[in-house]
Amino acid sequence: MDRVTVSDNLVTAETSVAKLAGLWLQYLRDEGRIERTTVNEYERVLTKVVIPELGGLRLRELTTSRLDMFPGPTANDERQSPEEGEGGDGLHAWHGRPL
What number of other Cβ atoms are within 10 A of residue 17's Cβ?
19
Q: What is the pLDDT of residue 81?
A: 45
Of 51-55, 70-74, 84-88, highest mean pLDDT: 51-55
User: How far is 98 from 66, CA to CA, in rounded Å?
Assistant: 10
Percent of the chain with pLDDT over 70: 64
Count of Cβ atoms closer than 10 Å to residue 63 Cβ:
15
Full-model pTM: 0.64
DSSP class of residue 2?
P
